[in-house]
A and B are shown apart, each in its own frame.
Chain A
Amino acid sequence: MKMDASKESKRRSGLGEVWHRLKKNKAAVVSLFILLFLFIVAIFAPYIAPYPYDKEDFSQSFAGPSREHLLGTDRLGRDVLSRLIYGSRQSLQIGLYSTILAALAGIIIGSIAGYYGGWVDNALMRFLDIYQGIPMFLLCVTLAAVLGPSLRNAIIAIGISSVSGYARLMRASILTVREMEYIEAAKAINASNARIIRKHVIPNAISPLIVSITMSMGNSVLAGAGLSFIGLGVQPPIPEWGAMISDARAFLRGHGTLALYPGICVMITVLAFNLLGDGLRDALDPRLKN
């Protein structure tokens, strides 16, 4: 049985092997499809949404679900479903861009610290100590407030406040990988530094990073919704899930469902990112699985 598995895996490339293992995890596959679906909805929002997100109709305010408005309307008579569809754009943008920003900065800082070691490493790590001394959400809120509330600034604020995790992760992976026996073996057969870095260090250091990137996209979506909820993120009339919950807050008595839908959207998105991250972790590192 074991022999078969190893034979089989030899025929597949690295990426194919990961995909093969990921496919076995039903939750991860479903999450992947949910995320694909969400991205498609976000990209084609103007074609999918039945109404423009800012079309007001005061005669229809707080209308219940009907054939015209599947999820009803809000205080200004705007179609809730359309606003949810447009809202996916802001949430996914925040999740995607802030994570890319944080990961890039973190990878650069972490790699420099890990490779060079010595005083460079020490200085960078002390800087991160200071940085992490500020509770993360506090840093995020402060940055968003001083930069001024907008989608772009929310992305920057969330990105900057999550850099240190990546930097530490990257540094730690590089440090562990550097000490591994297979690096010693590669050195023993006289492999060049470039080859060692390309063939051994990066592939082995990158998988925890991919998992963490996936998971933190979910967290960024959450943080973005939180910022918009307290009024420091995306500004009206542009719909954003967190801001929609904030709008609905005043009408909990009587129109509680208005707060319900955007929250469910956030939860499904974050859940999908988390489940995919879990699945990727198992797929990328088979040692962890039992």
Chain B
Amino acid sequence: MIKYCIKRILLIIPILMGITLIVLIFIDIAPGDPARMMLGNEATEEEVQALREELGLNDPFVVRYFRFLGNAVRGDFGKSYMNNRPVADEILQRFKYTLIISVLSVSLAVIIGIPLGVYAATHQYSWKDNAAIALSLFFISMPAFWFALILVQLFSIRFKILPPAGIESWKGWVMPTVSLALGYIALITRQMRSNMLEVIRQDYIITARAKGQTERKVLYRHALKNAIIPIVLIIGTLFGMSLGGAMIAEIIYSVPGLGSYMLSGLTSRDYPVILACSFFMSTIFSIVILLIDLAFAFIDPRIRSQYVRRRRKTAEEA
């Protein structure tokens, strides 16, 4: 088990190296020259070339790749082309906003989605179940940014109870979180409902009922425990989605987070910003996925035993 954990943790390194490679390739094939953009159209070709040389843009691909990785390991992501500030400082400053939005919205989705899914499943085909299913379908099909604007229209313009932008007080967090969470609540509700329905038909539930267990205990001790496990995996995916989704919420509600930083980097061809932001967000995402994988292995004895067996097998092969 420990061996598996270490192996899984070490796997992050090649993944991050690969992600950096992919992003660098994207940047490389992109049309547009950041040196030209910084100097404007009046600059001569010599000036542009000199700046390219200074920024290290003329170096071979491999050199740039390993230089970025080497610096990144030491926490140095270079300076922004636009305002010459160290990118690492800016990221650290902005990251907490994105993280708060992501964590809050995913937590909200879990807290509301799981009970709702269980309720829908235990009342299958009742009007409450139908309503839950129909509503969650609506929320999944709705563009989050559109819903975000409707929230502004309702709560800031019509009722004037929440600020339309900014996060000076706790009230400012409500709309970014809710607009992002709604789709996730719907996703978890649907998933939880179908997991629960599947589990309820299993033989061990019949066994539990046959031995005279109370319905309450059958549901919450036997069924829920098994139905909730796949949800843990979805939380990781949702977290990844929320990092991207937070970008839109940050733009609409003018939250100074990572997403809006990355977007400004992308539109102004600020390569250090793009590279650092994607590197940073992918690192966080990979760590979350790692934690969930490990948690998964710990909570589910069936999976735990798989790893033990697999390890024995590989030992035999060796």
Contact = CB atoms under 8 A, between A and B. Distances in A.
A230 B22 CA distance: 23
Contact of B153 (A126, A127, A259): A259
B157 interface: yes
A242 interface: yes
B262 interface: yes
Nearest to B30: A146
Contacts of A229: 143, 145, 248
Contacts of A256: 153, 157
Interface string B15-51: 1101100110011011110000000000000000000
Contact of A267 (B11, B23, B141): B141
A162 B285 CA distance: 17
A135 B267 contact: no
Contacts of B153: 252, 256, 259
Contact of B15 (A129, A140, A226, A270): A129
A98 interface: no
A272 B63 CA distance: 50
Nearest to A252: B153
B15 A133 contact: yes
Interface in B96-152: 137-138, 140-147, 149-150, 152
Contacts of B267: 145, 231
B195 interface: no
Interface string A202-244: 0000000000000000100010011001111000000000100
Interface in A237-260: 242, 245, 248-249, 252-253, 256, 259-260
B146 A133 contact: no
A126 B137 CA distance: 33
B278 interface: yes
A135 B244 contact: yes
A134 interface: yes
User: At the interface, is chain B mostly helix, strand, loop or mixed?
Assistant: helix
Contact of A134 (B11, B22, B29, B252): B22
A269 to B, nearest CB: 8
A141 interface: yes
Interface string B234-265: 00000011011101100110000000001100
A127 B22 CA distance: 10
A229 to B, nearest CB: 5
A64 interface: no
B157 A133 contact: no
Contacts of B147: 263
A75 B147 CA distance: 22
Interface in A116-151: 126-127, 129-131, 133-138, 140-143, 145-148
Contact of A143 (B26, B252, B281, B285): B26
Contacts of A143: 26
B157 A252 contact: yes
A271 interface: yes
Interface residues of B, number: 49
A34 to B, nearest CB: 12
Contacts of B15: 129-130, 133
B291 to A, nearest CB: 14
A22 interface: no
Interface in A13-71: none
B130 to A, nearest CB: 11
Contact of B146 (A129, A130, A259, A274): A259
B16 A133 contact: yes
A122 to B, nearest CB: 13
Contact of B157 (A230, A253, A267): A253
B286 interface: yes
B251 A230 contact: yes
Given A135-B244, A230-B251, A130 B137 contact: no
Nearest to A140: B244
Nearest to A275: B137
A133 B18 CA distance: 9
A135 B157 contact: no
30 contacts: A129-B11, A131-B18, A133-B286, A134-B19, A135-B244, A137-B241, A138-B247, A138-B262, A140-B244, A142-B266, A145-B266, A146-B27, A146-B266, A148-B32, A218-B141, A226-B143, A229-B145, A230-B251, A242-B143, A245-B149, A259-B149, A259-B153, A262-B146, A263-B146, A267-B141, A270-B140, A270-B143, A271-B141, A274-B137, A274-B141
Q: Considering the complex of A and B, which 4 residue pairs feature the smallest CB-CB distances, nearest first?
A: A137-B244, A130-B18, A146-B30, A263-B146
Interface of A: 126-127, 129-131, 133-138, 140-143, 145-148, 218, 222, 225-226, 229-232, 242, 245, 248-249, 252-253, 256, 259-260, 262-263, 266-267, 270-271, 274-275
